[in-house]
Amino acid sequence: MAATRTASATWNGDLFSGNGTVSADSSGVFTDQAVTWVARTEDPGGKTSPEELVAAAHASCYAMALSNTMAEAGHAPERLNVTAAVTFVPGTGVTKSALTVVGTVSGLTEERFDELANVGVQGCPISNLIRGNAEITLDATLKS
């Protein structure tokens, strides 16, 4: 079954001095969050950016994909802490998403955790959306 989610944005003015808002329409978990060019390229100042939203999407998607990968391998994780750092270069675009995962998983060696962590990236739909357009890196650590 396909699932479609929607978000919306409004923008006022030109790129550099204008401002706007972004909302998660499907869930309503956030509405009218401020976005500006300065927040995107310099100091966030309490505002969000497209890259921060992509980072949230990538981190949560990868956590779910990795959880599934590990469960299918017989090692359901107790906990996965995932961070995604998305890099935006003005004039170039989004150049990188750096994933970092720290996992608490019983019965795995660090080597096997690394293997499964890399398989998880392949199964993440957001990774698949980014791949070929920006570099994806992964730093995986098994918490002892």
Q: Where in the chain are the domains?
A: 7-41, 50-142
Order of strands across the sheet that contains 79-89: 79-89, 93-104, 135-142
Nearest CA-CA partner of 33 in 5, 52, 58, 14? 52
Is the confidence at residue 144, as pLDDT, over 90? no
pLDDT in tens, 37-69: 999 999 999 999 999 999 999 999 999 999 999
Q: Is 126 exposed, middle or buried (0-12, 13-18, 19+ CB in 10 A)?
A: buried
The two tokens of residue 99 are 């994933």
pTM, entire model = 0.96
CB of 90 closer than 8 Å to CB of 41: yes
Q: Enter the CATH code of domain 50-142.
A: 3.30.300.20
pLDDT in tens, 115-138: 999 999 999 999 999 999 999 999
Average pLDDT over residues 59-85: 98
- Cα separation, 13 vs 16, whole angstroms: 8
